[in-house]
Amino acid sequence: MSTQLNLILLGPPGAGKGTQAARLVEDFNLPWVSTGDMLRAAVTEGSELGIKAKEYMDAGNLVPDDLIVALIVERIGEPDCSDGFLLDGYPRTIPQADALEQALRGLDRSVAATLLVELDDEEVVRRLSGRRMCVKGGHGYHLEFDPPKHEGICDQDGSRLIQRDDDVPEVIRRRLAVYHEQTEPLAAYYEDRGMLKRFDGSRTQTEVHDHIRAALATLRLEDSV
């Protein structure tokens, strides 16, 4: 069996993690394990863990770490994760990273690399605050990078374009403050363990993708020696 490519994807909102994840799962035939998607699926399916998670979500509370880790363990135990996985959205804090490490150790698995897509705050605000979405079909635009032909109107269905509440600059800055306080320390956590790979998110999506692919190809080569 090939070396397991168990990956964690980190980075601030707006760094393009979703785009890179979509490309990586295709490149390396890895399942994309998104904790948000996983939670929603577990709740929809009505699994034992999903029912527990729903109780917290319905009460407006965060789902506890041990429940999230249990969901991750359940998901990566499935056959499609046997050669590796790409974990997105978790961990977000050092205690979560500790819990994940312990759970993986129990499965005789470990993280091969943590991919950090870096982007400075002003660029994050510029990228996210420029996004617009049409009210009818949800078609997306960007005022700077992909503007509509007519200001404020969707090219495809003529409906009004709006800015999502979480794309307002003040909200973005609050999200960034939480990221810096809670999630950014994970860079040092994984760097100390020799697992961190840094990538410049201000480069084009293709350039970032090429750099990540090269880093992972090198990692696989080192592991096979």
Active site includes 136? Answer: no
Active site includes 105? Answer: no
Whether 20 contacts 99, CB under 8 Å: no
Catalytic residue among 40, 54, 109, 175: 175
**Residue 156 carries which DSSP code?**
T
**Cα separation, 38 vs 129, whole angstroms:** 28
Closest CA to 84 of 116, 111, 115, 107: 111
**Cα separation, 116 vs 188, whole angstroms:** 11
Instruction: Give the bridge partners for 134, in sequence order.
Output: 161
Closest CA to 30 of 78, 89, 92, 69: 78
Active site includes 220? Answer: no
Whether 7 contacts 114, CB under 8 Å: yes
Work out the number of other CB atoms within 10 angstroms of the CB of residue 111.
Answer: 17
Catalytic residue among 75, 127, 131, 197: 131
Burial 120-142 (b: 16+ CB within 10 A, else e): eeeebbbbbbbbbbbeeeebebe
Active site includes 131? Answer: yes
Catalytic residue among 164, 173, 174, 193: 164
- Using left for φ > 0, alpha for ψ between -120 and 50, and beta otherwise, residue 163 falls in beta
Active site includes 164? Answer: yes
Catalytic residue among 92, 109, 203, 213: 92
Catalytic residue among 17, 127, 132, 197: 17
Residues marked as catalytic = 17, 92, 131, 164, 175
